[in-house]
Amino acid sequence: MAMTNLKDTAQKLLSFGDITINGDKPWDIKVNNEDLYKRVLSQGSLGLGESYMDGWWEVEKMDEMVSRILSAKIDQKVKRDFSLILELVLAKLFNRQSKSRAYEVGKRHYDAGNDLFKTMLDKTMTYTCGYWKNAQNLDEAQEQKLDLICRKLKLKPGMKILDIGCGWGSLLKYAAEHYGTKGVGITISKEQVALAKENCAGLDIEIRLQDYRDIKEKFDAVASLGMIEHVGYKNYRQYMQIAASCLNDGGLFLLHTIGGKKSVRNTDIWMNKYIFPNGMLPSIKQLGGSIENIFIMEDLHNFGPDYDKTLMAWYNNFNAGWPALKEKYGDRFYRMWKYYLLTCAASFRVRNIQLWQIVLSKGGVPGGYESIR
């Protein structure tokens, strides 16, 4: 197909979202390389993301452009390429979140550099969605989220809690300081272990480099924030069985996760390649099946739009702090990270993906569980 025809095809698709090639609106795409049309039309999301990393296009408001593409379902009109079909086949044949591969995302994403995450995140270094109900800024949103979790788990002094995928220890630290608890946090990131130990120094908290399949102890409460997205649909049932085996009778398990509106067996191909290898978002159907006859779902709280605000705050922090990071990470990393944060914000904005907090009990809360918001 001639280049002019490809450009016309691209413009026709983009017009569904009121996006003009080389137009003047903040969400209009500025094309620097005319080969972009062939690349994106043949490669879909991978081609779009990699071409941005290569400097083939620019846009003033990327989050708004992507929001419009998703709202108009333009992405679904682009031909599915062979590499995505291969991803689907591999996901079906192999357990890509097996124990032998568990530490890959830790090495490739969470070990990227504590300086990067210190620059981007709030003062507690919480790398999950904030709760913005009564918050004016990111610090307040994350503190309110941590307190919300503690109240949902009904934490009391002396209780021992487990945080599966503890990050830099923010929940364990907050619970210890405000609710008098002790706890254990596990992560598959060496960089997180080092800084989490430093952050939690002086508190009755143990931080371990450990896979969730190796936990053998009992706890009064269990939390999992932004972790099951790395577990994979083949392992959801085992994940729930392990959480239940670690939970004392009468205790509660809080699952905080990004969720998709349909069941899938893979993730976006660009996201898998550059940001979260072997990751995938669970659906309500998949989670429901995984807890069957293991847990009772006491409460489900969806505050997905808050992740749009959280991601935009992270981007603003990252962008403002970039001059101090630039020499270490380089321009291509900047474009990759910017694309990651702003496209994710757009997905939450149009409600393509959600944020769920689910409270689970093993035998049911006597008299019923009181939902906390």
Are residues 62 and 134 located together in one domain of the fold? no
The residue type at 345: A
Q: What percent of the chain has pLDDT over 70?
A: 89
Residue 275 CA: distances (Å) to CA of 58, 108, 302: 20, 8, 24
CA separation, residue 215 to residues 174, 196, 218, 222, 247 (Å): 22, 19, 9, 12, 11
Residues 237-261 have a mean pLDDT of 97
The answer on 60 and 10 residing in a single domain is yes
Q: According to the model, what pLDDT value does residue 150 have?
A: 98
Which of 79, 109, 126 marks a domain boundary? 79
Structure tokens at 47: 């081609």
Assess whether 210 and 301 both reside in one domain.
yes
Pair (156, 291) in one structural domain = yes
255 and 150 share one domain: yes
Domain C-terminal end among 49, 79, 109: 79
Judge if 271 and 303 occupy the same domain. Answer: yes
Same domain, 46 and 106: no
Q: Which pTM value belongs to this model?
A: 0.89
Q: Which band of pLDDT confidence, cut at 50, 70 and 90, is reported for residue 145?
A: very high
The pLDDT value recorded for residue 133 is 96
Give domain status of residue 292, yes or no.
yes
Q: Can you give the pLDDT at residue 153?
A: 98
Shared-domain flag, residues 105 and 22: no
How far is the C-alpha of 222 from the C-alpha of 102, rounded, in Å? 20
Closest CA to 372 of 302, 284, 295, 301: 301
In a domain, 227, yes or no: yes
Q: What is the pLDDT of residue 87?
A: 46
* Dihedral of alpha carbons 20, 306, 266, 229, sign: positive
Query: Of 219-233, 260-274, 311-325, which gets the smallest average pLDDT?
Result: 260-274
Task: Choose among 278, 172, 281: nearest CA to 226.
Answer: 281
Name the residue among 169, 202, 203, 201 with its Cα closest to residue 185: 169
Asked whether residue 190 is assigned to any structural domain, the reply reads yes
Question: Averaged over 115-121, what is the pLDDT?
Answer: 95
356 CB-near residues (< 8 Å, 6+ apart): 255, 256, 257, 258, 259, 284, 300, 301, 302, 304
Q: Are residues 112 and 241 in the same domain?
A: yes
SS3 per residue for 147-203 = HHHHHHCCCCCCCEEEEECCCCCHHHHHHHHHHCCEEEEEECCHHHHHHHHHHCCCC
Q: Are residues 46 and 137 in the same domain?
A: no
- Per-residue pLDDT at 366 exceeds 60: yes
Domain of 46, in residue numbers: 3-79
CATH code assigned at 314 = 3.40.50.150
Q: Could you give the CA distance from residue 243 to residue 153 in angstroms, rounded to a whole number?
A: 14
pLDDT of residue 94: 56
Task: Look up tokens 């944060």; give the residue.
Answer: 341
Using CA atoms, how far apart are residues 240 and 244, in angstroms rounded to an integer? 6
Would you place residue 202 in the very low, low, confident or very high pLDDT band (cuts 50, 70, 90)? very high
Q: Provide the pLDDT for residue 84.
A: 42
Residue 103 has pLDDT above 80, yes or no: no
Provide DSSP, 304-359: THHHHHHHHHHHHHHHHHHHHHHHHH-HHHHHHHHHHHHHHHHHHHTTSEEEEEEE
Based on the fold, state whether residues 37 and 130 are members of the same structural domain.
no
> Is 166 an active-site residue?
no
The pLDDT value recorded for residue 91 is: 46
Supply the pLDDT for residue 6: 85
Q: Is residue 13 part of a domain?
A: yes
More confident position, 55 or 45: 55
Instruction: Pick the range with the lowest mean pLDDT from 32-36, 43-47, 64-68, 186-190.
Output: 43-47
Is 288 found in the same domain as 164? yes
Given 79, 114, 142, the domain boundary residue is 79
In the prediction, which pLDDT does 251 show?
Answer: 97
291: in domain:
yes
Per-residue pLDDT tens over the stretch 32-45: 999 999 888 878 88
Q: Based on the structure, what is the number of domains in the chain?
A: 2
| pLDDT score, position 302 | 98
Report the percentage of the chain scoring pLDDT > 90.
Answer: 78
pLDDT at 81: 44
Q: How many helices (H) and strands (E) does the chain have?
A: 15, 9
Catalytic residue among 129, 166, 246, 344: 344
Look at residue 88 and tell me whether its pLDDT is greater than 50.
no
pLDDT band at 83 (very low <50, low <70, confident <90, very high): very low
Position 128 in a domain: yes
Residue 154 lies in a domain: yes
Give a yes or no: residue 84 inside a domain: no
Q: Provide the token pair at 194.
A: 């080092």
